[in-house]
Structure 1
Amino acid sequence: MSEVKHELKRSLGLIDATSLVAGSMIGSGIFLVTAAMARDVGSAAWILLIWLVTGLLTMSAALSYGELAGMMPNAGGQYVYIQRAYGKLISFLYGWTVFTVIQTGTIAAVAVAFSNYTAVFFPVLEHKILTLGANFAITNKQILAMFVIALLTFINTKGIKSGKIIQLVFTSAKLIALFSLIALGIYIGFHTDTFAQNFTNMWDASKTVLAEDGTLTITKLSGVALLGAMGATIINSLFSSDAWNNVTFIAGEIKDPKKNIPRSLFLGTLIVTIIYILANIAYLAVLPLHGIPGETASVTQHGIMFASQDRVGAAAASAIMGNVGVFMMAGLIMVSTFGCNSGLILSGGRLFYAMAKDGLFFKKAADLNDYDVPSRALWLQCVWACFLCLTGRYGDLLTYATFASLLFYILTIGGLFILRKKEPDAERPYRAFGYPLVPVLYIITTSLICFTLLVYDTRNTGLGLAIVALGIPVYYLFMHKKE
């Protein structure tokens, strides 16, 4: 009796792929990071401009990736593009960073965000179950986060259709809920004077620092200082808009990938860009930008800048609907993060599967199960993500890796120019929009952001580079084993 040959099945259409792009992008960031951005630049107009620039950068990158996706409609996506343009070492360093921090760290962070908001309904999750020393503790929230990761991994090992259903249901639910919140916020907000007040002297920028003793230091920003502050704080909106490239990882399971991947990249990033800008308009319509810190201050007094635990989304919902809004927002973020993690888990396993097939990851990760999915790659991803949940250091790791992630985006889009020169006759069903201007503008702008981060956040960017560099000896270890 002949052995059944398992291979990836092309069963995802354009709607599925677009759902994965949008669903993977929208996690918890949009509900949180505007508070930090408000403290960094202190201006409603500059905040909206930063979100607009973020959206344009993301969309221009997605449009550029469309050409590479059309050329190489294979599982692994960005890893495959980098390898074809730069060779195995650079592609391995990308895959190494994705496994150690970018994908698994994001999965851990999103799972803990899910647990944090579940604790709004079940406060018992805040309880510690184990304490070791002064700085390490395991809480019920961490256990729930690991359970959610394991549950979603198990579901995704049962076939691509299982993951597709979860993605469609949860992405649709959070889009409907987000649009409802935005519509209510803008409608109610424009019947007050909050929006008008936020846009009085709307280009006056300032940085607000809250000292440990409660002292506020406000510094006016202009010129180079303003550009530096914007370059540093845009990392918040860029992180919230990340993971759009995950759809390229599952190219081996998308129908007509040469057309559907470029389309889904454009549609997904466009939808999320519009939602993010409208969400920030809604925040500015119902909450004052500036506020005061302190536990005794009301939601309105805190404003966007000092929203409790930076939960701007929850503060806006509370301003719209009162206390019930807090619970409704908690439920929305639970839906958002659960669906987001399903997409991240589904797609990440395909990248590690592609690496394993090249002999650059654990050999067994290249095996497909009876449902034609790389279950062992998924479980390896699950184990490391759960470990990051336990350490409590995933947030730091994400900060370190965001800089490295931007560098790999620059490298990948730079690969467009390399491949146009090396392989001028290669099939290109879709050609990058605005080439060469749009890709060049992306590379220049993102390089300037990276330079700004090097100057203003040298420690974290240096650690990001160190994580990438640690992959070099690991690469040669895998190459040695192949000999």
Structure 2
Amino acid sequence: MTTVKKNVAERTHTPKPNLQAIDVIALIVGIVIGAGIFRIPSLVAANSASGFHFILYWIMGGAVSLIGALCYAELATTFPNTGGDYYFILRAFGRRLAFLFAWARISIIQTGSVALLAFIFGDYASQVFSLGDYSSVIYAAFTVLVLTGINILGVKAGAYTQKILTSLEVLGILVVVLAGFFFAPSSSIEVADAAPGGGGSTGLAMVFVLLTFGGWNEAAYVSAELRSGRKLIASSLIISIVIITVIYLIINLAYLRGLGMQGMASSDAIAGDLMRLSFGEGGMVLISILVAIAALTSANATIFTGARSNYALGRDFAIFSILGKWKSPSLGPVNSLLAQGLIALLLVSLGLFSRDGFETMVEYTAPVFWFFFLLVGLALFRLRKIAPAAERPFRVPLYPFLPVLFCLTCLYLLYSSIVYTGWGAMVGIGVLLVGVMILYFNKKGIDRE
């Protein structure tokens, strides 16, 4: 009898409001401000006609992200659910597309992102202390194992770890900012307004900028766990985007002042070049530690939120029922975390066969990510139509103009992520098609569940 009661209790556990608004803000800032800000600005500079345009693109990136956040704020406050995007698609378009999204998230989007961030940590940790020929892969696998283990310890352990890592990350960014504004030699400042060789490409520059801003939508996955009520999801999203935009503007102004447009455009490691210019070779070690911390911050947040959609997949579809168990209010979706960690480790193992695991994972995840991002944008219109009476604590201002602009941006980035990437994108699309096949052969079972 005791065993039966225990099993019933395990099945009936649901997410509890254990998180505060500051936890959500730390989560969003930690996901978005990852290692990309230490690599991508050089690509943006190479496609900018001048220093003015370079900074303008980052402001535009913040504006586009804010528009997207406003759309997500309406969805998350109207339909708060641990499934996040999955639940919005489910309500708007039905079980089949929801299943396909959940499949994509566990096999491509989230696990690919975890592997990508683990590779970044491995690359930079190897510069501090190499473990041999496969050093990056070893570090990446270790990262997945440790962070998954921390989150299995419980919701509060994962959230507490996130706040510590985010604080260290922001502190480290301040070091780079100080280097650019106060320690870079004056000779480099003279070329700050010089344009790179070409006239630049606004479209391509924005692709890179918005890649750096990616991840704020993860707040939707913890909307049901926010202790202070669903109205604070909207303010948490807006505050997070403002914080991220300000940080990005400051660090990019530091890059511009310290290296100039030509220096940025020709750099393969923009933060490292700035730190070397300011502090010598010791600066390179410092930036390696900084980028490693940034990667850990984003990886932990990605693992934390990814397990929530996996839980929703198992909760709603019998074929993946093992994932739909919430062990206890404090422990969370342990089975989902384990499955996510295993798949991420398999993707990390591709690093044994590919020399650039980071680029491979970017290509692998991008097209599928932007396809479903577009679908969530369209879900806002659909849900306004089919659920007009639902209580909406927050409504997107300037509807429908802002949601249309958001959808058009997603459509353009979907196109770009296919046209401008390599074989990794095709592999990701192929894995998505495997999900289509599962859906096709089991569609009657999925519709009945």
**For 2:118 and 2:176, how far apart are their aligned partners in 1?**
23
- Aligned runs of 1:416-455 on 2, under 5 Å? 416-452=380-416
**For 1:469 and 1:235, how far apart are their aligned partners in 2?**
25
**1:185-222 Cα deviation digits (max 9, x unpaired):** 22345x7253452314x5xx65xxxxxxxxxxxxx43x
> Are 2:305 and 1:305 aligned?
no
Percent identity, please: 28
CA 1:452–1:173 in structure 2 vs 1: closer, same or farther (change >3 Å)? Answer: closer
Which of 313, 323, 339 is equivalent to 1:380?
A: 339
Residue 405 of structure 1 is matched in structure 2 by 369
The answer on whether the counterparts of 1:231 and 1:452 sit within 8 Å (CA) in structure 2 is no
**For 2:400 and 2:183, how far apart are their aligned partners in 1?**
44
CA 1:481–1:232 in structure 2 vs 1: closer, same or farther (change >3 Å)? Answer: same
Residue 133 of structure 1 is matched in structure 2 by none
Helix, strand or coil at the partner of 2:260 = coil
CA 1:344–1:97 in structure 2 vs 1: closer, same or farther (change >3 Å)? Answer: same
Query: How big is the shift at 1:81?
Result: 0.7
> Are 2:103 and 1:96 aligned?
yes
> Are 2:18 and 1:24 aligned?
no
Query: How big is the shift at 1:42?
Result: 5.8
Structure (1 or 2) with the greater strand fraction: 1
Q: Give the residue type in structure 2 aligned to 1:390.
A: S
Q: Give the residue type in structure 1 aligned to 2:350.
A: T
Q: Give the residue type in structure 2 aligned to 1:178.
A: I
The answer on whether the counterparts of 2:70 and 2:396 sit within 8 Å (CA) in structure 1 is yes
Q: Give the residue type in structure 2 aligned to 1:334.
A: A
Q: CA RMSD in A?
A: 2.4
Which stretch shows the higher mean deviation, 436-445 or 451-460?
A: 451-460
Which of 305, 310, 316 is equivalent to 1:352?
A: 310
The answer on whether the counterparts of 2:113 and 2:361 sit within 8 Å (CA) in structure 1 is no
> Are 2:39 and 1:44 aligned?
no
**TM-score normalized with structure 2 length:** 0.89
- Aligned runs of 1:239-318 on 2, under 5 Å? 239-290=211-262, 303-307=263-267, 310-318=268-276
The answer on whether the counterparts of 2:77 and 2:394 sit within 8 Å (CA) in structure 1 is yes
Residue 158 of structure 2 is matched in structure 1 by 163
Which of 188, 197, 202 is equivalent to 1:194?
A: 188
**For 1:327 and 1:458, how far apart are their aligned partners in 2?**
32
Residue 116 of structure 1 is matched in structure 2 by 123
**For 1:458 and 1:114, how far apart are their aligned partners in 2?**
23
**For 1:348 and 1:149, how far apart are their aligned partners in 2?**
13
**1:137-175 Cα deviation digits (max 9, x unpaired):** xx1321221122111111111110100110011101111
CA 1:185–1:361 in structure 2 vs 1: closer, same or farther (change >3 Å)? Answer: farther
**For 1:249 and 1:478, how far apart are their aligned partners in 2?**
27
Residue 9 of structure 1 is matched in structure 2 by 16
Q: Give the residue type in structure 1 aligned to 2:266.
A: F
Which stretch shows the higher mean deviation, 34-43 or 250-259?
A: 34-43
Gaps spanning 5+ residues in structure 1: where? Answer: 129-138, 207-219, 291-302
Residue 146 of structure 1 is matched in structure 2 by 141
**For 2:41 and 2:63, how far apart are their aligned partners in 1?**
18
Residue 364 of structure 1 is matched in structure 2 by 322
Which of 26, 48, 60 is equivalent to 1:53?
A: 60
**1:410-459 Cα deviation digits (max 9, x unpaired):** 22122212111211111101111332222222223333444455555587
Which of 74, 89, 94 is equivalent to 1:87?
A: 94
**For 2:116 and 2:416, how far apart are their aligned partners in 1?**
25
**1:219-240 Cα deviation digits (max 9, x unpaired):** x43xxxx5xx332343322222
**For 2:278 and 2:433, how far apart are their aligned partners in 1?**
48
**For 1:73 and 1:45, how far apart are their aligned partners in 2?**
40
The answer on whether the counterparts of 2:114 and 2:303 sit within 8 Å (CA) in structure 1 is yes
The answer on whether the counterparts of 1:156 and 1:163 sit within 8 Å (CA) in structure 2 is yes
Query: How big is the shift at 1:177?
Result: 2.2
Structure (1 or 2) with the greater helix fraction: 2
The answer on whether the counterparts of 1:54 and 1:238 sit within 8 Å (CA) in structure 2 is yes
**1:378-403 Cα deviation digits (max 9, x unpaired):** 01100110111111265324224313
The answer on whether the counterparts of 2:108 and 2:428 sit within 8 Å (CA) in structure 1 is no
**For 1:444 and 1:122, how far apart are their aligned partners in 2?**
45
> Are 2:379 and 1:415 aligned?
yes
Q: How many equivalent residue pairs?
A: 434
**For 1:406 and 1:379, how far apart are their aligned partners in 2?**
26
Residue 176 of structure 1 is matched in structure 2 by 171
